[in-house]
Amino acid sequence: MGGEMRGVFTIANLTFREAIREKIFYNLVVFALLFIAVGAEASYFVIGDWERIVKDISLSSIEIFGVLIATFLGVGLIAREVEKRTVYTVLSKPISRASYVLGRYIGLLMILAVNSLLMLCALLAALWFARSPVELATIEAFVLIFFQFMLIAGFAVLFSSFTTQTLGAIICLTLYIIGHLSADLKYFMSEKFSISLRALSKSVYYALPNLELLNLKPQATYGITSEWSYILYASLYGLLYTSALLTITILIFNKRDLK
């Protein structure tokens, strides 16, 4: 057990160091920070509640660019190693495929955590610049945004285990969009279609990630604090869904013929 855990953290550390060297990481982080800075500056020239504008632009920038980082780094974690055949060297050591997958995922989470903390600092600076207090609702929204990153990273690693990087990225971003529209699609289909299609829509609704459950940006914009029971429920949903994705990834990668 101890050897397996050491293997997991060795792979995680390797993944983190590899991701730090990726140019796309720095490009996306810089763009995110610029969006937050521009949003804070532009809010002065917009008629309306500029504090809400700062929060909305900043949280949206954190979410969008974090999802892009999770997607574009995640889809290459395993697929790129298989293409280069460097995965054989790693797996020839006393490291199981499950440990390899978990290590890759944890390393990706580490880089996402660093990215998220950088953008949180930028958000706090933007709020300070806008002379707006840091409200609990903003922190709650930020926490659940990170759980969205965890989910998207789980999908990225899953698709990286059996498909190409390009296709994996397209599917991940599509799932991100659908995840924020799934509740609306369920409502639309329940009103317009037959019983069989309504049953199908409900099945799809429960199978796909409900990312709106992890979206508290509208509440944060207006300073509306959520119940802790809701935060706990949404966090547990994200953890369980991510655990299921990792389990499926390990099962697929264990059965994959790498010879």
Amino acid present at 97? R
Q: Give the mean pLDDT of 70-86.
A: 86
Average pLDDT over residues 16-26: 75
pLDDT over threshold 60, residue 120: yes
Closest CA to 79 of 158, 155, 174: 158
% of the chain surpassing 70 pLDDT: 80
Q: How confident is the model at residue 137 (pLDDT cuts 50, 70, 90)?
A: very high
Structure tokens at 252: 């697929």
pLDDT at 190 over 70: no
What average pLDDT does the structure give for the chain?
Answer: 83
Query: Can you give the pLDDT at residue 233?
Result: 96
What does the angle CA 12 – CA 162 – CA 170 come to, to the nearest 5 degrees? 90
Given a cut of 70, whether residue 183 has pLDDT beyond it is no
Residue, of 211 and 127, whose pLDDT is higher: 211
Q: What are phi and psi of 212, to 5 degrees?
A: -65, -25
Asked if residue 46 has pLDDT above 90, the reply is no
pLDDT level of residue 95 (50, 70, 90 thresholds): confident
Look-up of token digits 């590899």: 18
The token pair at 122 is: 């930028």
Nearest to residue 152, comparing CAs of 116, 186, 187?
A: 116
208-227 pLDDT, tens digit per residue, is 899 999 999 999 988 899 99
**Predicted structure pTM score:** 0.88
In terms of pLDDT, which residue wins out, 189 or 30? 30
**What is the reported pLDDT for 35?**
66
- Residue located via tokens 């369980």: 240
Query: In percent, how much of the chain has pLDDT > 90?
Result: 38
Residue 42 has what pLDDT?
57
pLDDT value for 57: 81
Q: What is residue 257's predicted lDDT score, i.e. its pLDDT?
A: 73
